[in-house]
Amino acid sequence: MSSPLSTAPPPAPVTTPDQPPRRVRRGPRSARVLWFTVPALAWFVVFLVGPLAAMFVIATLRWKGLIYEPTFVGFENVTRVLADPVFLAAIRNSAIQVGIAVPVMIPLAYMLGYHLYTKPRGYRLLSVLYFSPGLISISVTATIFYGVLSPNGGVNGLLSLVGLDSLVTPWLADPSTALATLIFIDLWRGVGWTAVLMAARLSSIPGEVLEAAQVDGASRTRVMWQIAFPMVKSYVSTLTMLQFLWTLFTSAALILLLTKGGPGNSTTTLSYLVYAKAFSQQDLGYSQVVGVALLVVGIAGMFLIRALLRSDLEDER
Amino acid sequence: MTAQARPRLRRSARTRQAAPIAGALSWLYALILALPLYYLVVSALKTNIEIFTRPFHLPSLWLWDNFSTAWTQASLGKALANTALICLVAITVTLVLAVPASYALARSDTKVARAITGAFSAGFLIPPFAALIPTVILAIHLGLFYTREFQMLFLPASALPLSVLLLTQFMRTVPSELVEAAAMDGVGQFRTLVHIFLPIAMPGVVTVTILQLLTFWNEYLFSLTITGTAPDVRTVQVALPTLISDSTNYGVLAAGTVLTVLPVYLVYTVMSRRMQEALTAGAVKG
């Protein structure tokens, strides 16, 4: 897998495209120096690769909680998971969550990022605000929205303030709104943050190109989509993959804090199911089958996004 | 005078095509972002009843007590100290591991080096959350379950892929003349790293430090399941949500939330440019 960072805006010393970084000459000792990577690799293998591999083993065990002895049952867990309506609900919820959050977030973020890049009036304030969710942790986000969305909270207060009492709902406790509300929180956090990243990437393309197009009479929309967008397409594709993975994998924490998968199974996503099965329902084999499924969906989705947003130009510079 | 006039001229050329709709929408989104934050801050100074009845008004009576209540109820002082300690050790370990590794990867272009870079890239795209449960089991087997120490060992591992990739890019900016001169003088690898590469790659080290500090500070799910909820060891992110179950006092909850984000915002106001650069370089959010 090629480094996603090759498409990211490289950090300061490497950014200037007209001045490519001079490569360090590789001496004959270039192979021996690789011993320096051994500690990092060892750490990486023990704490990340090892646990990742262990998922596949645990998926074949009947293991009723960490204090019990596991027994090998082969593919029994897989058939159990596939037959479970909760798993199907989780697949559906994850598909809805990712299927709405990512396609809404990325174009919005690109357009807002382009807007920020043109340095409109007050763009400093805008970029600070847009950046804010990036500083806020999941547990802080959860406590904010716990207040904002509770039956007597800010949203309902605002609705009754403007006379829309009929829309007042216990947002997170109503099965028909809970998942949509969580998707809204994903968007609330993600759009502005991603826009700032897009703006940063856009500012590294030569401004003359866009100005020339404007002088030639191209409309703003045309410049934004037909000239600027192709130039940053591979970065957009990287951000899309990252947002996809974050939404898919990390929704567990927010759900744990706000809805615990409910009401019913209406907000049980794949990643929450992994957590809930292991720690609340003490069924580790089941949990890790879902974990493996999550991993497979994640990798498949990444390849799909890559194929959909394949850059026509290998290097956009 | 002219130096100031020039960027302004450029700006006007860029914004020539005014975009009223884009402008309005961007402020609408800013409002959607700002309202919950405003609600949080004013709620932190109100009673429960006032939060319900006048959600967006300024408090009629500024209830500073909420802050002290939150502080003691969630033992935020201890939690902040725990988080700070974990972050400090984890950052140090991350740098001690990542700096030599990136030095080696910047200096070597063999097949093995490319394979190692590929492994770290793959690790960067797979969120560690996937393997949360096996990580818990590992902690139990190491006898480090429900301790801060495991988090200090684990967090650097989760940070390594991105840190190594970023630092390698910075290390590659070292001019080859310097390296050749050092090699000619018979300077060893370790001294070349410390005296030539490290000073030049310092901005990268700062970037990685800020980036991982923010990630470690904001880490929630692993802290919850591995470090646990005991007041002695829990981090501030784990301590905060206990206010939800401890009481239904939104004012106290909001005050606790403000106290938890305050350190991050303080650091941000001091070094906002650096933080933006770091997070943009990482393209990763906490």
The confidence score (pLDDT) of residue B63 equals 81
Query: What's A223's domain CATH number?
Result: 1.10.3720.10
Task: Tell me, yes or no, if A291 comes closer than 8 A to chain B by beta carbon.
Answer: yes
* Mean predicted confidence (pLDDT) in B251-268: 88
Give mean pLDDT, residues B231-254: 84
Q: What is the mean pLDDT of residues A279-308?
A: 90
Task: Identify whether A4 is part of a domain.
Answer: no
Distance from CA of B156 to the nearest CA of A (A): 8
Confidence of residue A88 (pLDDT cuts 50, 70, 90): very high
Mean pLDDT rounded to a whole number for chain B: 84
Out of A14, A31, A127, name the one closest to residue B169 (CB). Answer: A14
Q: How far apart are CA B161 and CA B163, in angstroms?
A: 6
Tokens encoding B142? 């190491």
What pLDDT score does A238 carry? Answer: 87
Residue A22 is assigned to a structural domain of this protein: no
| Closest CB to A136 among B169, B179, B261 | B261
What letter represents residue B132's amino acid? Answer: L
Give mean pLDDT, residues A219-247: 88
Within-domain flag for A92: yes
Q: Which of B160, B158, B147, B135 is nearest to B82 (CA)?
A: B147
Q: Which of A9-13, A264-268, B274-278 has the highest mean pLDDT?
A: A264-268
Quick one: pLDDT band at residue A316, thresholds 50, 70, 90?
A: very low
Same domain, A304 and A224: yes
Query: Mean pLDDT across the stretch A138-148?
Result: 89
Residues A67 and A193 in one domain: no
- Whether A214 and A110 map to the same domain: the answer is yes
Find the domain containing A162 and state its range.
76-316
Q: Average pLDDT for residues B30-49, to the nearest whole number?
A: 88
pLDDT band at B240 (very low <50, low <70, confident <90, very high): confident
| CB of A220 less than 8 A from some CB of B | yes
pLDDT tens per residue, range A43-61 = 999 999 999 998 998 888 8
Mean pLDDT across B154-172: 91
Residue-level pLDDT at A180: 94
Same domain (yes/no): A113, A62 = no
Interface test with A, best of B54, B178, B214, B221 (most A CBs within 10 A): B221
Q: A129 to chain B: which residues are within 8 Å by CB?
A: 30, 33-34
C-alpha–C-alpha distance, residues A263 and A250, integer Å: 20
How many residues are present in chain A?
317
The pLDDT assigned to A32 comes to 80
**Contact of B40 with A144, CB cutoff 8 Å:** yes
User: In this structure, what token pair is assigned to residue B252?
Assistant: 């106290």
Q: Is residue A11 part of a domain?
A: no
Asked if residue A132 and residue A93 are part of one domain, the reply reads yes
Which pLDDT belongs to residue B18?
Answer: 59
In this structure, is residue A169 part of a structural domain?
yes
Least Cα distance to A261 among A286, A238, A279 occurs for A279
- The last residue of one of the domains, among A47, A72, A97, is A72
Q: Are residues A217 and A250 in the same domain?
A: yes
- Residues A218, A280 share a domain: yes
Report pLDDT for A182: 94
Is residue A13 over pLDDT 50? no
Residues from chain B that touch A302, judged by Cβ atoms under 8 A, are: 125
**Average pLDDT rounded to a whole number, residues B232-261:** 85
Measured between alpha carbons, how far is B260 from B254 in angstroms, rounded to an integer?
10
Looking at chain A from residue 67 to 106, which residues have their Cβ under 8 Å from any Cβ of chain B? none
Q: What is the CATH code for B65-284?
A: 1.10.3720.10
The whole-angstrom distance between B236's CA and the closest CA on chain A is: 9
Residue B283 pLDDT greater than 70, yes or no: no
Chain B residue at shortest CA distance from A49:
B123
For the cut 90, the answer to whether the pLDDT of residue A65 exceeds it is no
* Contact (CB<8Å) A47/B158: yes
Interface contact B100-A40, CB threshold 8 A = yes
State the pLDDT at residue A17. Answer: 42
User: Structure tokens of A166?
Assistant: 């009929």
Question: Distance (Å, rounded) from C-alpha A90 to C-alpha A255?
Answer: 12
User: What backbone phi and psi angles, to 5 degrees, belong to B22?
Assistant: -60, -40
- Give the pLDDT confidence score for residue A311 in this predicted structure: 54
Q: Which two tokens stand for residue A276?
A: 């809930």
Per-residue confidence (pLDDT) for residue B205, from 0 to 100: 92
Could you give the ipTM of this predicted complex? Answer: 0.84
Weakest mean pLDDT among A284-288, B73-77, B163-167: B73-77
User: What pTM did the predictor assign?
Assistant: 0.85
Region of poorest pLDDT, from B8-12, B72-76, B182-186: B8-12
Is residue A17 in some structural domain?
no
| Distance, CA of B169 to chain centre | 20
Tally of domains within chain A: 2
